Amino acid sequence: MIKRLIDKNRTIYATLMILVGWLLLHYSLNSAVVPHPLAAINVFLSLITGSLWPHLGASFARIFISVVIAVLVGTTIGLWLGLHERYDRLFGPIIYLLFPLPKIAFLPIFMILFGLGNRSKIILITVIIVFQLLVSIRDSVKGLNQMLFYSIQSLGATKWQSYRHLILPAILPKLLTALRISVGTSISVLFFAENYATTYGIGYFIMDAWIRIDYLDMYAGIIAISLLGLLIFKGIDLIERILCHWALLEKGNQESYF
């Protein structure tokens, strides 16, 4: 009964649990650094109708543009490498070396090359998440069963038809999973990137509140950025439900091992 209730209202359940944890932390620490959750929510609600919007909008735009560029570039290169063994042999090792590199440390270079404005921020986020997308697309293409390729070729499929009926539908669930991880990463990077040369963005808002020692405002900002992340996650879920119904069926058939 309770299990079913949780299954049906997962987001509400998670929100309540986090609020309870927050409340416990608030009472046990008894410090202004962890305010009462309801107080923070109150401030958030009063700000969301006004001054928070431009910040949220700026942050969302930066994430959205970065993710779109990273998906296009990452998918294209990932497919190309995954489908052509000889190029992967050439570029695979280089990507392997570049992947764990802390690209965020090159921020000064991006700032000098692309300016202090949105361009360097978007490029920073893109460069960081494109590797996650690229590698997971490449590996999922490589993992495709040869029999599927033979099957579709035997039906007379051209290269483009193989993309349409086999390759793209096969990688879509993996792409969405990679996208979830990337969105998480991009929000953290965004917070960092919005700490210089801007007065718009939720990262700036949080940092500004921090400097003003206005912890309630800071928490309102954290709530806002969390909701933004949640909204993007829900969007990805929706795409998955519409386009990858089959993959969800496969997931549903897996029992837990322990």
Partner 1 sequence: MRRLSFGFGQTAKKGSVNMIKIEQLTIHYHQTCALKELSLAINEHESVAVIGPSGCGKSTLLLAIAGLIKPSQGHISINQAQVCKPRASTGVILQEYGLMPWKTVQQNVALGLQIRHCPKQQIKQQVQAILEQLHIAEYADRYPIQLSGGQQQRVAIARALAIEPDLLLMDEPFSALDTIVREELQQVVLGLYRVRRMAMLIVTHNIEEAVFLGKRIIIMQPNPGRIKTVIDNPYFGSEDLRSQLAYHEMCMKLRSELERVEHD
In angstroms, the Cα distances linking 53 to 49, 61, 160, 206, 223 are 7, 12, 43, 14, 13
- How many residues appear in the chain? 258
Which span sits near partner 1 by CB under 8 A: 107-115, 175-183, 202-210, 238-246? 238-246
Q: Which of 18, 155, 231, 238 binds partner 1 (CB under 8 A)?
A: 155
Q: How far apart are CA 236 and CA 257, in angstroms?
A: 27
Q: Which is nearer to partner 1, 169 or 184 (CB)?
A: 169
Q: Token pair 């590996």 is at which residue?
A: 139
167 interacts with partner 1 by CB under 8 A = no
Phi/psi at 201 (5° precision)? 125, 150
Q: Which of residues 72-101 bind partner 1 (CB under 8 A)?
A: none
171 interacts with partner 1 by CB under 8 A = no
137 interacts with partner 1 by CB under 8 A = no
Rounded to 10°, the helix 215-243/168-193 angle is 170
Q: Under DSSP, is residue 196 helix (H, G, I), strand (E, B) or coil?
A: coil
250 interacts with partner 1 by CB under 8 A = yes
CB of 235 vs partner 1, minimal distance in Å: 21
246 interacts with partner 1 by CB under 8 A = yes
169 interacts with partner 1 by CB under 8 A = yes
Nearest Cα residue to 121 out of 65, 77, 71: 65
CB of 10 vs partner 1, minimal distance in Å: 24
**Contact of 141 with 76, CB cutoff 8 Å:** no
CB of 39 vs partner 1, minimal distance in Å: 48
156 interacts with partner 1 by CB under 8 A = yes
Which span sits near partner 1 by CB under 8 A: 12-20, 77-85, 94-102, 147-155? 147-155
CB-CB neighbours of 179 under 10 Å = 25
Structure-token pair, residue 150: 């033979």
Q: Which of 39, 104, 157, 197 binds partner 1 (CB under 8 A)?
A: 157
145 interacts with partner 1 by CB under 8 A = yes
Q: How far apart are CA 40 and CA 223, in angstroms?
A: 8
Q: Which is nearer to partner 1, 76 or 145 (CB)?
A: 145
Nearest Cα residue to 219 out of 204, 231, 234, 209: 209
Residues near partner 1, by CB under 8 A = 145, 147-148, 150-158, 161, 165-166, 169-170, 172, 244-247, 249-250, 253
